[in-house]
Amino acid sequence: MPAKRIIPCLDVKDGRTVKGINFEGLADVGDPVELGARYAAEGADELVYLDISATKEGRATFTGLVNRIAERINIPFTVGGGISSVDDASRLLDAGADKITVNSAAVADPRLIEAIATRYGSQFVVAAIDARQTEGVWRVTTHGGSRFSDKELFSWAKEVESRGAGEVMFTSMDHDGTRSGYPCATFARLCSSLSIPVIASGGAGSVEDIASVFLDGHADAALAASIFHYGDMTVNALKERLKSFGIEVRL
């Protein structure tokens, strides 16, 4: 069985790393290049950088940041946020990103996934899916979880796989930033329905939460932010603890 991956996530706004709950109440938590370099040195398997800037100026800043990250960091990193065309993806991949993630724009036009995968290959495309539970159904959301779409989590995940996504990154918007754990039963169902890796996102507050999403949710990787940004635990310390649960990780 492949080793489980630990992936620190850095939300970036206008060149700085920020953190909030459900993308609200954002606080500055540091320089994204320095934080990324620290996490890489601590044993992170990959990094994810999400651009949450709302302006063209912010997007340009992010592209320059991707160049700096590529020059400094020697582990794979994925970037996303506002990617709505093949040209957007090209700009970030050309700047040095290893993978890109698409979300709201792919919900609006699923052909975007096919177009990027056709040009670059499925291994470069991560489909990010944000969803909330409403009336017992996991509804896919867009625009940082603020708008419901007409799509349902499990059927949409199957569709993005069929259109060429190489991985799915699922975030429960009900859990994001709350540090209350992952919805493991939902992850277990999602992972069993797909043949591509699933990255768990949204809700990691403890080692036990991450162990559960691996053992009970069968996720291939876990994304976490708060526990690293606020110094609760280093990546290596987390991995050592996960080993004690019998979970295979790279040390």
Residue 66 lies in a domain: yes
Residue 103 lies in a domain: yes
Is this structure's pTM higher than 0.85?
A: yes
The confidence score (pLDDT) of residue 239 equals: 97
CA gyration radius, the chain: 17
Residue 71 lies in a domain: yes
pLDDT tens for the chain, 251 residues: list them: 789 999 999 999 889 998 765 555 677 778 999 999 999 999 999 999 999 886 777 788 899 999 999 999 999 999 999 899 999 999 999 999 999 999 999 999 999 999 999 999 999 999 999 999 999 999 999 987 889 999 999 999 999 999 999 999 999 987 776 677 899 999 999 999 999 999 999 888 889 999 999 999 999 999 988 788 877 789 999 999 999 999 999 99
The confidence score (pLDDT) of residue 177 equals: 65
Residue 249 lies in a domain: no
> CA-to-CA distance for 194 and 235, rounded, in angstroms?
28
The residue annotated as part of the active site, out of 130, 176, 209, 220, is 130
Active site residue 87: no
Query: At what angle are helices 153-162 and 184-193 packed, to 10 degrees?
Result: 30
The confidence score (pLDDT) of residue 43 equals: 96
Residue 250 lies in a domain: no
> CA-to-CA distance for 11 and 175, rounded, in angstroms?
16
Q: Name the domain count of the chain.
A: 1
Residue 51 lies in a domain: yes
User: What CATH number should be reported for the domain holding residue 166?
Assistant: 3.20.20.70
The confidence score (pLDDT) of residue 54 equals: 66
The confidence score (pLDDT) of residue 178 equals: 64
The token duo for 83 is 């990617």
Task: Find residue 7's DSSP bridge partners.
Answer: 223
The confidence score (pLDDT) of residue 109 equals: 97
Those residues whose C-beta lies under 8 Å from the C-beta of residue 47, and which sit 6 or more positions away, are: 7, 8, 9, 10, 36, 39, 40, 69, 73, 75, 76, 77, 78
Residue 203 lies in a domain: yes
Active site residue 31: no
The confidence score (pLDDT) of residue 234 equals: 93
Dihedral pair phi/psi, residue 81, rounded to 5°: 110, 110
Range of the domain at 198: 5-244
Residue 251 lies in a domain: no
> CA-to-CA distance for 24 and 83, rounded, in angstroms?
21
**Amino acid identity of 188?**
A
> CA-to-CA distance for 33 and 109, rounded, in angstroms?
32
The residue annotated as part of the active site, out of 11, 45, 51, 209, is 11
